[in-house]
């Protein structure tokens, strides 16, 4: 079952009505998750990855946009009708039930024709337990299990009703390092054997790289780049992606391109023919250094970390934006480092240059062809290659201002309360005006403060109108959501564009 997200936007209304600080958690998210694949949503905290997951699950409703499972539009379906399995970060296993009862619980909810006999339920629970290898613990309570075992019970509970889509929200973050490694392989194995389309949310790039078929890297609610993990690592589309992927992280220098040569500081380190002269950031993967007596990039060595097969040379450079430069070279070459200064030549495919203003990738030499190949490969698989360049829409305030949508209050009590409140606001407004008129008569001199007050009241009245509409007519809400779904497109001058050229 493929999952298609179309122009998904989620805006959380501000809590404080005076400051109006709405949060656009997810901004115009377009992506197709192919059938039977494992896709990771990856990004720093607050990038909207969990929100996206919860919108797919149906626990949260998108402000605008559409979600399809296969050909079915599920945007308005409630979670239970979507056929999803969801694994929570804290597992949310019912503490008062045994493992078996926990796994049986979703099956016991089936009603009418779908109702299963007791034997079938038990059989399916046992199958699910066997799949995640917890069949020995069926009679234990969750508290009597280790973190990894609880995790597996949670997955079994999600799988037992044979969901169309399996959703995992940071499933490994509560496990210790070793268990994490083991469990992620387990998840991979389970996903392979069940062939269920799986969406996995994490902030750990290593986790994402190791188990997913595709990764989606997000920042501030926007997709920064999509693709196969290796391809994204080898061909980052912008500085953010380059910095986010890879451990140890990429080394970033500030430099420039002049007459077809790439300079880091004063040193010309690479030939980059065909690239226009510009100020750039130079990203060099730690494995992109070759030790060479006549090397073009020189750095001050401050230490060497021995890691067995490889060594990591820790050094500093004036042009580096990171506090230290890390270069990983073969341990055999350790003897070649002598003195304070190390000289390196660079591997061309491990060096990425980014325009200093837009932070957009500038490809040179063989990189252009390599990029072309990656894009073609993805298109052949029916995947769209999505990258985002330029400023993030959330940083440009105009989007936030134009797409303000008052969250329609659902509760009857809340509506009644708002109606009463609005009435009082209007009464208050009336009295304010009355008193203001009196004041004006008294003190005719001061004109400026009254003007300010007037504009305020106009604003307030406007917001009231919006509110009362939301309170009075439910139908209007639907119309509005459609309107708003179009608005961000118009207003965001640089939306996430599909980049096929390179």
Partner 1 sequence: MDNKKKNQWKAWLYLAPTVVLLLIFTVWPMINTLRMSVLEGYDSLKEIGGASFSFGFDNFKQIVEFYRFKDCMLTTILLTFITVPVSTLLALVIAVALNSIKFVKKTLQTIFFLPYVTNTIAIGMVFMAMFNRIPVGDTYSYGIINNIIQAFGGEPVNWINGGSSYWANIAVVSVYIIWNALPFKILVLLGGLQGVNKQYYDAAKVDGTSRFRTFWRITVPLLSPMIAYVVITGFIGGFKEYSSVLGIFGPSMGPGNHEMDTMVGLIYESVSEQQGQASAAALILFVIIFAVTMINMYVSKKKVHY
Q: Does 86 bind partner 1 (CB under 8 A)?
A: yes
Strands 64-69 and 261-264: unpaired
State the alpha helices, DSSP H only, in 204-259: 205-211, 229-234, 239-244
**Binding residues for partner 1, how many (CB under 8 A)?**
27
Binding mask 24-63 for partner 1 (x = CB under 8 A): ---------------------------------xxx----
Among 17, 20, 76, 96, binds partner 1 (CB under 8 A): 96
With CB under 8 A as the contact rule, which of the stretches 17-25, 107-115, 292-300, 429-437 interacts with partner 1?
107-115
Q: Token pair of 453, please?
A: 């007050």
- Smallest gap from Cβ 91 to partner 1, in A, equals 8
Tell whether omega for the bond before 248 is within 30 degrees of 0, i.e. cis: yes
Name the residue nearer to partner 1 (CB basis): 380 or 412: 412
- Smallest gap from Cβ 70 to partner 1, in A, equals 19
- Smallest gap from Cβ 205 to partner 1, in A, equals 26
Binding mask 133-162 for partner 1 (x = CB under 8 A): ----------------------------x-
Contact 262, 269 (CB under 8 A): yes
- Smallest gap from Cβ 413 to partner 1, in A, equals 6
What angle (nearest 5°) sits at the alpha carbon of residue 83, between those of residues 81 and 88?
A: 105
Query: Dmax over Cα atoms in the chain, in whole Å?
Result: 91
- Render 164-190 in DSSP notation, one character per residue: SEEEEESTTTTS-HHHHHHHHHHHHHH
Among 95, 303, 308, 335, binds partner 1 (CB under 8 A): 95
- Smallest gap from Cβ 86 to partner 1, in A, equals 5
Q: Does 118 bind partner 1 (CB under 8 A)?
A: no
With CB under 8 A as the contact rule, which of the stretches 36-44, 121-129, 408-416, 424-432 interacts with partner 1?
408-416
Q: Which residues within the stretch 438-497 sit at the binding site for partner 1 (CB under 8 A)?
A: none
Give the C-alpha separation, 65 to 29, whole Å.
Answer: 8
Q: If we measure between CA atoms, which residue out of 175, 212, 191 comes closest to residue 131?
A: 191
What angle (nearest 5°) sits at the alpha carbon of residue 378, between those of residues 372 and 380?
A: 100
Residue found by looking up tokens 């996903």 in the block: 191
Q: Token pair of 161, please?
A: 């009703």
Q: Does 10 bind partner 1 (CB under 8 A)?
A: no
What three-state secondary structure class fits 265? coil
Q: Does 106 bind partner 1 (CB under 8 A)?
A: yes
Span between the terminal Cα atoms of the chain, in Å: 31
- Smallest gap from Cβ 256 to partner 1, in A, equals 51
Q: Which residues within the stretch 409-428 sit at the binding site for partner 1 (CB under 8 A)?
A: 411, 413-414, 417
Q: What share of the chain is helix, strand, coil (3-state, %, to 5)?
A: 40, 25, 35
- Smallest gap from Cβ 79 to partner 1, in A, equals 5
Contact 150, 142 (CB under 8 A): yes
For partner 1, the binding residues (CB under 8 A) are 57-59, 78-81, 84-86, 88, 90, 92, 94-97, 105-106, 109-111, 161, 411, 413-414, 417
């Amino acid at each position: 079952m493929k999952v298609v997200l179309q122009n998904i936007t989620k805006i959380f209304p501000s809590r404080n009505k005076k400051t109006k600080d709405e949060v656009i958690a997810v901004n115009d998210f377009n992506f197709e998750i192919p059938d039977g694949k494992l896709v990771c949503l990856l990004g720093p905290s607050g990038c909207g990855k969990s929100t996206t997951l919860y919108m797919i699950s149906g626990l949260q409703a998108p402000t605008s946009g559409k979600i399809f499972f296969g050909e079915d539009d599920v945007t308005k379906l409630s979670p239970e009708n979507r056929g999803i399995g969801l694994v929570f970060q804290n597992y949310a296993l019912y503490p008062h039930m045994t493992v078996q009862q926990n796994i049986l619980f979703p099956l016991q909810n089936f009603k009418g024709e779908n109702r299963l006999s007791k034997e079938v339920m038990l059989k399916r629970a046992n199958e699910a337990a066997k799949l995640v290898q917890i069949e020995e613990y069926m009679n234990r309570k969750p508290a009597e299990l280790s973190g990894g075992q609880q995790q597996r019970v949670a997955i079994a509970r999600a799988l037992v009703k044979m969901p169309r889509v399996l959703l995992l929200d940071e499933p490994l973050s509560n496990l210790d390092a070793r268990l994490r490694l083991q469990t992620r392989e387990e998840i991979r194995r389970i996903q392979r054997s069940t062939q269920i389309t799986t969406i996995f949310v994490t902030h750990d790039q290593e986790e994402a790289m190791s188990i997913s078929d595709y990764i989606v890297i997000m920042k501030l609610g926007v997709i920064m780049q999509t693709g196969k993990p290796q391809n994204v690592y080898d061909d980052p589309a912008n500085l953010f992606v380059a910095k986010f992927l890879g451990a140890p992280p990429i080394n970033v220098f500030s430099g420039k391109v002049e007459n077809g040569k790439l300079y880091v500081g004063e040193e010309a380190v690479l030939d980059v023919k065909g690239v226009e002269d510009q100020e750039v950031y130079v990203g060099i993967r730690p494995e992109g250094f070759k030790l060479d007596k006549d090397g073009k990039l020189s750095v001050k060595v401050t230490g060497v970390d021995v890691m067995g097969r490889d060594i990591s040379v820790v050094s500093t450079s004036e042009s580096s934006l990171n506090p230290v430069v890390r270069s990983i070279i073969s341990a055999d070459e350790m003897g070649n480092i002598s003195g304070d200064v190390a000289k390196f030549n660079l591997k061309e495919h491990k060096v990425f240059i980014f325009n200093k203003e837009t932070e957009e990738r500038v490809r040179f030499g063989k990189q252009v062809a390599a990029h072309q190949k990656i894009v073609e490969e993805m298109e052949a698989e029916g995947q769209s290659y999505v990258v985002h360049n330029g400023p993030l829409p959330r940083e440009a305030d105009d989007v936030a201002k134009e797409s303000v949508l008052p969250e329609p209050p659902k509760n009857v009590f809340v509506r009644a309360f708002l109606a009463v409140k609005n009435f009082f606001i209007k009464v208050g407004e009336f009295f304010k005006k009355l008193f203001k008129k009196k004041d004006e008569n008294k003190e005719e001199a001061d004109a400026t403060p009254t003007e300010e007050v007037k504009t305020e009241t106009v604003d307030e009245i406007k917001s009231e109108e919006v509110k009362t509409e939301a309170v009075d007519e439910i139908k209007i809400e639907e119309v509005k959501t459609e309107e708003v779904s179009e608005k961000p497109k118009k207003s965001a001058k640089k939306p996430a564009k599909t980049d096929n050229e390179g």
